[in-house]
Amino acid sequence: MPITTSLTKLLNIRVPIVQGGMQWVGVPKLVAAVSNAGGLGIITALTQPNPAALRNAIKETRAMTSKPFGVNITLLPAINPPDYAGYARAAVEEGVKIFETAGNNPGELIKYFKSNGCTVIHKCTTIRHAKSALKLGVDVLSIDGFECAGHPGEEDIGGLVLLARAAQELKVPYLASGGIADARGVAAALALGACGVNMGTRFMCTVESPIHENIKQTIVKSSEKDTVHIFRTLHNTARVFKNKVSMEVVAIERRPGGAKFEDVRELVSGQRGKMVYENGDPDYGIWTAGIAVGLINDIPTCEELLRTLEKGTEDIVANLSASVVKSKL
């Protein structure tokens, strides 16, 4: 039997699994493959150089799938911010009805999406931020635990506690995000009250993922000990793959007197990170990965992955149900 949750009903998908909106990774080929496999693929807007390019990416994705897919817009701290409104307008005008937002002050974007009849998923790392997002009218929350790739916030709360707190405090559906890469993780998330899961690192390591094969093999060979936090001292913590560059950043941050962003700017350049995925050298720059790398040991197609997760989750839930003997009291 399919796993039916409030998420599958709301988004009209078969499997309650959302592909994370990953920079340089959430491109049409992967997005269409995830959606065709029964999950929700997400185009990463800021991977595209401008709103016109996003329009083209949406059209390209739609040519490969008739299933629902969404667009991620992450608001980043920047002196010269991207044209967020332009990206949002382009996606809405192209008929996208599902959006994932993340970052600070998403109010204007969420208001615009809701005024156009769209469904909004907002990513949060604390219950406090989740409640603020609810006041803005989001439909689904994505609760990011400390295990996640990218920015886990500054409070270091693991998913086990954070999701249980969400069940206590939140009155809308929420996704579990961070550290999930297998059926046990999906089943655990559902048991913790989530309506589904958001997976990023796991989808990096699929056949349709656009990153270099050598990086996929690096993920397969890695353990849960192969990530590290950078920017801790700058109060903008990010979990990335542990390599020569990220460890150099950590060393600079640990210098007496600390470090400023200017001290590591060249090391953490986004273009260097992008080149990792293109040239296959895992030590070329900073690249994002969650501790879920320790759970990944193969490179399946998205279809194979989602079928395996779906069947595995069903089996785990069924076995748990069979093992429960109700008290006669």
Nearest to 240 by CA among 285, 182, 294: 285
Assess whether pLDDT exceeds 90 at residue 272: yes
- What topology is assigned to 6-211+298-323 in CATH? TIM Barrel (3.20.20)
The two most distant CA atoms of the chain are separated, in Å, by 66
Mean pLDDT of the 60-76 span:
97
**Alpha helices per DSSP H over the chain:** 6-11, 28-36, 51-64, 84-93, 107-115, 127-135, 159-169, 183-191, 201-204, 213-221, 244-253, 261-264, 270-279, 302-323
Running DSSP on this structure, what letter comes out for residue 150?
B
Ranges of CATH 3.20.20.70 domains, the chain: 6-211+298-323
Decide if pLDDT at 180 tops 90. Answer: yes
Residue 329 banded pLDDT, cuts 50, 70, 90: low
Question: Would you state the pLDDT for residue 80?
Answer: 87
**3-state class (DSSP) for residue 222:** coil
Question: CA 329 to CA 327: how far, in whole Å?
Answer: 5
**Which of 72-81, 192-201, 219-228, 297-306 comes out lowest in average pLDDT?**
72-81
What is d(CA 223, CA 135) in angstroms, rounded to the nearest whole number?
39
By CB atoms closer than 10 A (0-12, 13-18, 19+), residue 62 is middle
pTM of the model: 0.96
Q: Is 80 exceeded by the pLDDT of residue 325?
A: no
Sequence-distant contacts of 74-77: CB under 8 A, at least 24 apart: 74/21, 74/23, 74/44, 74/45, 74/46, 74/101, 74/102, 74/103, 75/101, 75/102, 75/103, 75/104, 75/105, 75/106, 75/109, 76/46, 76/103, 77/104, 77/236
pLDDT in tens, 8-17: 999 999 999 9
On whether the CB atoms of residues 132 and 101 are closer than 8 A, the answer is no
**What is the C-alpha to C-alpha distance for residues 122 and 217, in angstroms, rounded to an integer?**
31
Output helix, strand, coil percentages for the chain, rounded to the nearest 5.
45, 15, 40
The pair of three-digit structure tokens given for residue 179, joined into one six-digit string: 């550290």
Q: DSSP class of residue 225?
A: T
Buried b (16+ CB within 10 A) or exposed e, 28-41: bbbbbbbbbbbbbb
* CA pair distance 275, 279, nearest whole angstrom: 6
pLDDT (mean) for 279-296 = 98
Give the whole-angstrom CA distance, residue 59 versus residue 63. Answer: 6
Structure tokens at 196: 């589904």
For 266-305, letters b (16+ CB in 10 Å) and e give ebbeeeebbbbbeebebebbbbbbbbbbbbbeebbebbeb
How many angstroms separate the CA atoms of 25 and 45, rounded? Answer: 11
Q: Quick one: pLDDT at residue 1?
A: 66
Give the total residue count for the chain: 329
Residue 239 has pLDDT above 70, yes or no: yes
Mean pLDDT computed over 189-213: 98
Q: Which two tokens stand for residue 229?
A: 């936090």
What is the bridge-based pairing of β-strands 140-144 and 174-177?
Answer: parallel
* CA distances (Å), origin 154, targets 68, 259, 270: 33, 18, 22
Rounded Cα distance between 126 and 153, Å, is: 8
